[in-house]
Amino acid sequence: MMGENLVIVTNGHDAIPIYSNTKSLSWARFLKQIAGIFGIDMSQEEMLWHQPTPGEERYFSDPNPKNKSLAMWSEALYRQHLYPGQHLENLWKAMSSRLQNGLNWTNLRTRHSGDGGPTMLMDFCAESLITEVTRNLFGELIYEIEPSLTQYIYNLNEENWKLLVFSYPSFAAKQAARAKARIFDAILNYVQSPAELREDSAGLVRTYINEHESAGCNAQTIAGLLCLTLFGANVNVYRLNYWMLSYILRDQGLLETIRTEIAPAFQSNAVNSQYIYDSCPRLCAVWFEALRLTFGGVSVRDVTAPVISHGKRLRPGSTVMIAIRELHSNADVFGANVDDFSATRFLDTDLDKSPYFRPFAGGMNICTGRYLAKRTTLVYVALLLQNLDFEILGRSGAALENGKLPPHEIDQAIPNMGIMAPKKGQEMYVNISERKSG
């Protein structure tokens, strides 16, 4: 790679010291690059990464006693709001009631199935989930500013690799570039709106805006950073839901088992989400297996100081890439048929604790949204299976040929930063209706 060393890690045990070594290995360049793509004011970049030193006003200041740079301190803010505790409970309470309202048949039939025609399952998952996730973080104002925001987030994600992996110029990634610009404009307008119009936003977003404003960030920088938050909160979750649903729906026995398993969570008016994520091992096993099989991202770290990795001395300027998909495909760890979905692979095992299982990366920069992601995904899938019946259709929504399910494979050819898409032409189509029994 341009005279620099690229080290690719495919052994889970070798990944542990890489994830935990934040002194010599950094993902700051990657973060800076993405924040730049999302539109932060580049003249403020230095300020975002500057660590307060003695004599400066922000040195040992109250919300940041460890003197982290603003960028690093934001990560601590995410942890505060997204790790188990009162903040997460508040965020989740609002999210679970949104899911419950949004995913009942009366609401869904007007939005998706009014004509009773074939529905592309990915569109359905994206529309129903992105809207709720985004409203839960930003409140109602964001959709008053940009009613098509959900569509733009979807459009950006479906082509995000052109901008985020290969940095294509806008003319070569028109759909993604246009969507990104519209999302940025909406968030900028949102940040510049009076604070009292944003009072129904999540504590995370309110605190994020307040703290960045008081640290001297301008609206453009805050909007760029919040685009990153919005994108991170949305990109993987709806696709993971799609895969979980598609694997469950293609296996009638599994569908019945999971419907029986989740039934006790629906004994009162409000869904018992704690029951779903604590007491439904078969649904959880599907979540782990879908993550293992469909996560296509990598972790990239720059070597910033000499370091020994796997007996090799790495010099500053080298790059280490943890090939997560390779880790997830190790048959010695995960057993036979690693390329196929198995609903029971993670059942009654501690495979999810393996150093080879890394859908959320690891170490200091492990995904801070993983607890929220798990709750959202499991409860979303459970609500849909409880409330709806799905009839699988053939290619592009045509009738099934001789009752045979069409092929349904992951598109591994498109470079990806997270959960992968199905192959073009193999997207799952379904007829959705109110659940008849159960």
Residues that bind ligand HEM (CB under 6 A): 27, 75, 78, 82, 232-233, 236-237, 240, 295, 297, 299, 359-361, 365, 367-369, 372-373, 418-419
Question: Strands 307-309 and 119-120: what pairing?
Answer: unpaired
Q: Which residues 6+ apart lie within 8 Å of 256 measured at CB?
A: none
What DSSP element (H or E) covers 26?
A: strand 25-26
Nearer to ligand HEM, 82 or 191 (CB): 82
Q: How far is the CB of 240 from ligand HEM (least distance, A)?
A: 5
Shortest Å distance, C-beta 399 to ligand HEM: 33
Give the nearest distance from C-beta 357 to ligand HEM in angstroms. 12
Per residue in 253-279, is it b (16+ CB within 10 Å) or e — as a string?
ebbeebbebbeebbeeeebbbebbbee
Neighbours of 336 (CB within 10 A): 8
- The span from the CA of 158 to the CA of 155, in Å, is 5
Under 8 Å between Cβ of 306 and 313: yes
Identity of the residue, 373 or 432, whose beta carbon is nearer to ligand HEM in the bound complex = 373
Nearer to ligand HEM, 203 or 438 (CB): 203
Q: Please list, residue by residue across 160-199, b when 16 or more beta carbons sit within 10 angstroms of its beta carbon and e when fewer do.
A: bbbbbeeebeeeebeebbebbebbbebbbbbbeeeeeebe
Query: Quick check: 236 and 418 in contact, CB under 8 A?
Result: yes
Q: Nearer Cβ to ligand HEM, position 221 or 236? A: 236
Q: How far is the CB of 391 from ligand HEM (least distance, A)?
A: 27
Q: Which residues fall within 8 angstroms of residue 130, CB to CB, at 6 or more apart?
A: 150, 153, 154, 234, 238
Q: Are 368 and 79 in contact (CB under 8 A)?
A: yes
Q: 121 or 240, CB closer to ligand HEM?
A: 240
**Which residue, 177 or 372, has its beta carbon nearer to ligand HEM?**
372
CB of 245 to ligand HEM, least distance (A): 14
Cα–Cα distance, 222 to 235 (Å, whole number): 20
Minimum gap (Å) between residue 116 Cβ and ligand HEM: 31
- Minimum CB separation of residue 256 from ligand HEM in Å reads 26
Question: Which residue, 190 or 360, is less far from ligand HEM as judged by CB?
Answer: 360
